[in-house]
Amino acid sequence: MTPTDVTRSGRGVTGIDLSDLDGFWAAPIPARAAAFAELRARDPLSFHPEPDSPWRDPDGGFHAVTRLDDVLAASRAPQVFCSGRGSTSIPDMPAEFVEFFGSMIGMDDPRHARLRRIVSRGFTPRRLARLTEDVAATARRIVDEVIDRGECDAVTDIAARLPMTIVCDLMGVPASQYDFVFDASNVVLGAGDPDYVPEGSDIVTAILTAAGGLAELMRDLGAKRAQDPTDDVTSALVNAEIDGERLTPDELASFFILLVVAGNETTRNAISWGLHLLTENPDQRDVWLADVDGVTPTAVDEIVRLASPVIFMRRTCTQDTELGGTAMREGDKVALFYWAANRDPAHFTDPDRFDVRRDPNPHVGFGGPGPHFCLGAHLARREMSVMFRELLTRVPDIHTTAPPSRLRSMFINGVKALPVAFTAGGVR
């Protein structure tokens, strides 16, 4: 057996099994961090069998990239480590999913660049500046609604509502549809967790039904805006023409699904983990409270680093190659573990420490340097900044009263519920 074959047999030197959803991924966060520290130090590019899923390839597996330098190197070489073959999660995407989930996050240039050029129009600094007022007003309303209660669920009552409202507002989705969009996005990204699959349905049907509903909503809205444009992003997208091209109705629908899942679940988990981190680190709350405006920019990035709401993204080798000294073959699946790279002691001093003033903070929570770097990073930072400013100035003693109830997933570092308490009435 060659050295590569030993690695591929799944007999890693550490015995750590990254495909174990109910063992490894359900373990407490410090245990997860310790295991990744061991992998980074002893076996930074280990090979694992595919995790359990309806689409699991029993003979397949993936390389796990855990060091920041290797994540950066792969991100910078998208022609070798591509996004457009199979999927960006471990199992290849089944054919029936492509209609809804065949969005730009799973494409390579030149198709990716074409779509990104068109949709970037929806994310211009001018449009985002206009959105700032909406973000602030929405955050204020969210806190207004809970402030007299003295307690609530931080996920559904606080963290989830801001990104949902903003993404829907951005696209021009009417408020009457917010609940539907929220439930559907939970199903799409949380379908590995029994709590999010409607009773009596299997995972595949649940995901396709949810995505089909989102797509229909967007096709209808797109048709309306093509006739009668407003100043929302849907109008910009259906009427944008770049080099004679515009988005087709199906491209618009799958972009919306991407935005809903990429923009909602991530931001809401970041805000929820942020509240948990603040509770666990009272010294850092004090530092932040002492200078809310000054500390917010670094604090928000530190939350994204430690939360790493997107745990990994997959790439696929387009040719035989090498990464960090490990040989890889064409077609190999490579998981870039942003969560692990964000705790790499080679780049982050005292990496498990929550340090709201950490600077520099070269984290890859929004992805590595390359074509797929998060399109919504500015918006996400803005949403988180405004939400925490609102919370820290109006309910400064907000704290969690139980540990986060975590999503069963190795892809999304999700929080399903997080009870919090604060002095009722707060500061108006």
CB closest to ligand HEM, residue no: 376
Torsion of CA 405, 410, 411, 417, to 10 degrees: 0
Contact 344, 67 (CB under 8 A): yes
The residue (of 177 and 201) whose beta carbon lies closer to ligand HEM is 177
The contact mask relative to ligand HEM for 230-259 (x = CB under 6 A, - = no) is ----------------------------xx
Q: Residue 304, interface with ligand HEM (CB under 6 A)? A: yes
Site for ligand HEM in 162-221 (CB under 6 A): 163, 167
In contact, 314 and 88? CB cutoff 8 Å: yes
Contact between 374 and ligand HEM per CB under 6 A: yes
Would you say 119 or 420 has its CB closer to ligand HEM?
119
| Residues 319-338 interacting with ligand HEM (rule: CB under 6 A) | 338
* Using rule CB under 6 A, residue 87 touches ligand HEM: no
- Closer to ligand HEM by Cβ: residue 105 or 395: 105
CB atoms closer than 10 angstroms to residue 35: 19
Determine, following the binding rule CB under 6 A, whether residue 365 of this chain makes contact with ligand HEM.
yes
Structure token digits, residue 232: 């929302």
- 336, 315 Cβ separation under 8 angstroms: yes
Long-range Cβ contacts of 205-214 (<8 Å, 24+ apart): 207/97, 208/96, 208/97, 208/100, 210/183, 210/184, 210/185, 211/97, 211/100, 211/101, 211/184, 211/257, 212/100, 213/180, 213/184, 214/100, 214/181, 214/184, 214/185, 214/188, 214/253, 214/256, 214/257, 214/260
The stretch near ligand HEM (CB under 6 A) out of 140-148, 303-311, 320-328, 354-362 is 303-311
Rounded Cα distance between 420 and 428, Å, is 19
> Could you tell me how many residues of this chain bind ligand HEM (CB under 6 A)?
29
> Is 118 near ligand HEM (CB under 6 A)?
no
Tokens of 428: 């108006």
Nearer to ligand HEM, 19 or 267 (CB): 267
Count of CB atoms situated within 10 Å of the CB of 12? 19
For residues 68 and 347, the answer to whether their CB atoms sit within 8 Å is yes
**Choices 91-99, 176-184, 359-367, 387-395 (CB under 6 A): range interacting with ligand HEM:** 359-367
Least Å distance, CB 384 to ligand HEM, is 7
Asked if residue 122 binds ligand HEM (CB under 6 A), the reply is no
| Residue nearer to ligand HEM on the CB measure, 366 or 388 | 366
Q: Based on CB atoms, which residue is closest to ligand HEM, 64 or 197?
A: 64
Task: Tell me the torsion sign for CA atoms 208, 209, 214, 218.
Answer: positive
Give the interface with ligand HEM as residue ranges (CB under 6 A): 83, 88, 104-105, 116, 163, 167, 258-259, 262-263, 266-267, 270, 304, 309-310, 313, 338, 365-367, 371-372, 374-376, 379-380
